[in-house]
């Protein structure tokens, strides 16, 4: 038999073995592949963990206080993040403080910060929308969020002030381990929520987005800060953006939320009108049966914010505190 014919047959047999193995019909081959896959997964987790440990000094969580009322949310968010400080990463919180928020509230937040293990830094920021005609003036304060691109940390996970961490959000930083990635978010490039984002601060990005603000972008109506962020990053190469798992931005709207808190939730976000601290501290001012009922919180989310408020008032915003271990954790487990 000619040598070249034998070569063709051997090659055909090899291809068949590969194809059959891929279909799961060769147990030995499948077991080897699964074993290799398992080892790669373990190695990947180790590398991810090492990257987080190595770079944690360059990390910060960030949020924005744009009105005096939002100081309540900053306190509650700080309390929730403090529970995970040193578990195992030690990541602080940067609070961007817009001038419209009262100085007395700023002092109150700074006083709370001294009771936490987690370092809290308050930085004054200006609102780039002031004096521009293109801004959506019903949401004027939110444009100060754009200052997150001016922070002096290398890596930032931004979390809106109307959100709480129920698990450590540290893994969101992993989206930035790829040097090409400038932003990560929950959603798509054409439509994502800016309430939770992992990003690399950049003066260039800040200048480009605020330029869109001044010129109105490509919108028929006044754009929100979220519109501007989405528009800017949608024009960049695909590899500059990455999606975050939806567990990093679980929405706590009555119309969108599950009947119980998702077991894998990392951050619960109460976006929309009627902030959680308002509904809890001033229930008479909120009518869940009016036209905004779709924006009211499900019961599990109300209990979550109440439990966090209890920890805040008792100065027990810690995983190691007796109250958290015996009180809040029990309450959370029933959400």
Whether 201 has a pLDDT exceeding 90, the answer reads: yes
Per-residue pLDDT, 156:
98
The sign of the torsion formed by the CA atoms of 160, 161, 164, 167 equals positive
Q: With H, G, I as helix, E, B as strand and everything else as coil, classify residue 195.
A: strand
Higher-confidence position of 112 and 15: 112
Mean pLDDT, residues 151-156: 96
Q: With H, G, I as helix, E, B as strand and everything else as coil, classify residue 184.
A: strand
Rounded to whole angstroms, the Cα distance separating 270 from 80 reads 14
Whether 8 has a pLDDT exceeding 50, the answer reads: no
- pLDDT band for position 140 (50/70/90)? confident
Per-residue pLDDT, 40:
56
Whether 25 has a pLDDT exceeding 70, the answer reads: no
Report the topology of domain 53-247: Spore Coat Polysaccharide Biosynthesis Protein SpsA; Chain A (3.90.550)
Rounded to whole angstroms, the Cα distance separating 26 from 28 reads 6
Residues sharing a CB contact under 8 Å with residue 101, sequence separation 6 or more, in sequence order: 65, 66, 67, 68, 70, 71
- pLDDT band for position 184 (50/70/90)? very high
Mean pLDDT, residues 303-323: 78
Dig out the tokens for 123 from the structure: 């930085």
Residue 197, φ and ψ in degrees, nearest 5: -145, 140
Residues sharing a CB contact under 8 Å with residue 305, sequence separation 6 or more, in sequence order: 76, 164, 270, 276, 277, 280, 297
Rounded to whole angstroms, the Cα distance separating 87 from 219 reads 44
Rounded to whole angstroms, the Cα distance separating 123 from 151 reads 9
Domain ranges (residues) in the chain:
53-247, 250-333
Highest mean pLDDT among 29-43, 81-95, 248-262: 81-95
Higher-confidence position of 120 and 49: 120
């Amino acid at each position: 038999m000619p040598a070249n014919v034998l070569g063709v047959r051997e090659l055909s047999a090899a291809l068949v073995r590969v194809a059959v193995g891929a279909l799961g019909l060769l147990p030995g081959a499948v077991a080897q592949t699964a074993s290799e896959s398992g080892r790669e997964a373990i190695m990947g987790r180790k590398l991810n963990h090492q990257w987080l440990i190595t770079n944690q000094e360059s990390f910060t969580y960030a949020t924005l206080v744009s009105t005096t009322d939002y100081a309540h949310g900053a306190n509650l968010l700080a309390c929730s993040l403090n529970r995970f400080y040193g578990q195992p990463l030690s990541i602080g919180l940067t609070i961007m403080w817009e001038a419209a928020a009262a100085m007395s509230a700023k002092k109150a937040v700074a006083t709370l910060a001294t009771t936490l293990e987690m370092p809290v830094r308050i930085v004054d920021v200006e609102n780039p929308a002031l004096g521009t005609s293109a801004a959506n003036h019903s949401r004027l304060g939110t444009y100060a969020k754009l200052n997150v691109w001016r922070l002096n940390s290398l890596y930032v996970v931004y979390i809106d002030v109307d959100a709480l961490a129920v698990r450590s959000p540290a893994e969101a930083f992993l989206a930035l381990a790829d040097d090409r990635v400038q932003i990560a978010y929950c959603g798509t490039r054409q439509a994502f929520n800016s309430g939770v984002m992992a990003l690399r601060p950049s003066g260039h990005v800040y200048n480009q987005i605020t330029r869109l603000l001044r010129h109105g972008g490509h919108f028929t109506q006044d754009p929100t800060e979220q519109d501007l962020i989405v528009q800017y990053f949608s024009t960049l190469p695909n590899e500059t953006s990455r999606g975050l798992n939806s567990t990093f931005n679980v929405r706590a709207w009555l119309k969108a939320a599950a009947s119980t808190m998702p077991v894998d939730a990392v951050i619960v976000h109460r976006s929309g009108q009627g902030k959680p601290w308002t509904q809890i501290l001033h229930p008479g001012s909120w009518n869940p049966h009016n036209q905004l009922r779709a924006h009211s919180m499900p019961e599990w989310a109300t209990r979550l914010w109440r439990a966090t408020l209890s920890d805040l008032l008792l100065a027990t915003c810690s995983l190691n505190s007796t109250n958290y271990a015996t009180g809040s954790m029990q309450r959370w487990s029933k959400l």
